[in-house]
Amino acid sequence: MPNDAAVFFGEFLRSPATIGALAPSSPRLAEAVCAPVPERGEPVVVELGPGTGPFTAAIQRRLAGRGHHLAVELNERLAGLLAARFPGAEVVRGDAAALPSLLAVRGLPGADVVVSGLPWAAFPPLLQRRLMDAVTAALAPGGAFTTFSYLHAVPLPAARRFRSLLAERFEEVVPGRTVWRNVPPAFVFHARRPRTSF
């Protein structure tokens, strides 16, 4: 198995705008981000930007063979690594902005949970909105969206813009505690009940 940190860093060097971090997320951050994934029933769980798979592993543990786990990864090398490592997840190499159609072609209803590892604070305004359009269109009415932000990015304009976008698109947005055991430290956003009009 390749060293995940080395693989991740290599892909960051090739495409820093889409990878958005120097190292994979820690298991602590993965558990915090994936907390909304139901531990019973047959949920549809979508993962955006899984990278080397720390969130994928946490989702698979919580699902324990139930439901449907769709992992959407733009990077070809990382998508191949994920598909080999996590046979219980359906890994798709594709654009997160195409999420509604990715679900539709599989006959899947709206996602119960969307877990995002995308670097939102690295995206320009139009891309943030296009991706959020896809997320809210794909979520079931009572669905949950969960993502994270690096602590050092909090004052950046793009991060502030993303927080405003979350408040605009969801009825409830709850920031979690800081996960210090991550490089760099990060905190989680849990958003629920996507707004149907904005």
Question: Would residue 37 count as lying in a domain?
Answer: no
Digit-coded pLDDT (tens) for 34-48: 999 999 999 999 999
In the chain, the number of structural domains is 1
Question: Would residue 72 count as lying in a domain?
Answer: yes
Could you tell me the residue range of the domain that residue 80 belongs to?
A: 43-193
Digit-coded pLDDT (tens) for 49-108: 999 899 999 999 999 999 999 999 999 999 999 999 999 999 999 999 999 999 999 999
Question: Would residue 8 count as lying in a domain?
Answer: no
Question: Would residue 187 count as lying in a domain?
Answer: yes
Whole-prediction pTM:
0.88
DSSP state string for 133-171: HHHHHHEEEEEEEEEEEEGGGTTSHHHHHHHHHHHHHEE
Digit-coded pLDDT (tens) for 98-156: 999 999 999 998 999 999 999 998 899 999 999 999 999 999 999 999 999 988 888 88
Does the pLDDT of residue 19 top 70, yes or no? no
Question: Would residue 55 count as lying in a domain?
Answer: yes
Residues ≥6 apart with Cβ < 8 Å to 127: none
Question: Would residue 6 count as lying in a domain?
Answer: no
Predicted confidence at residue 164, as pLDDT, reads 96
Question: Would residue 36 count as lying in a domain?
Answer: no
Question: Would residue 175 count as lying in a domain?
Answer: yes
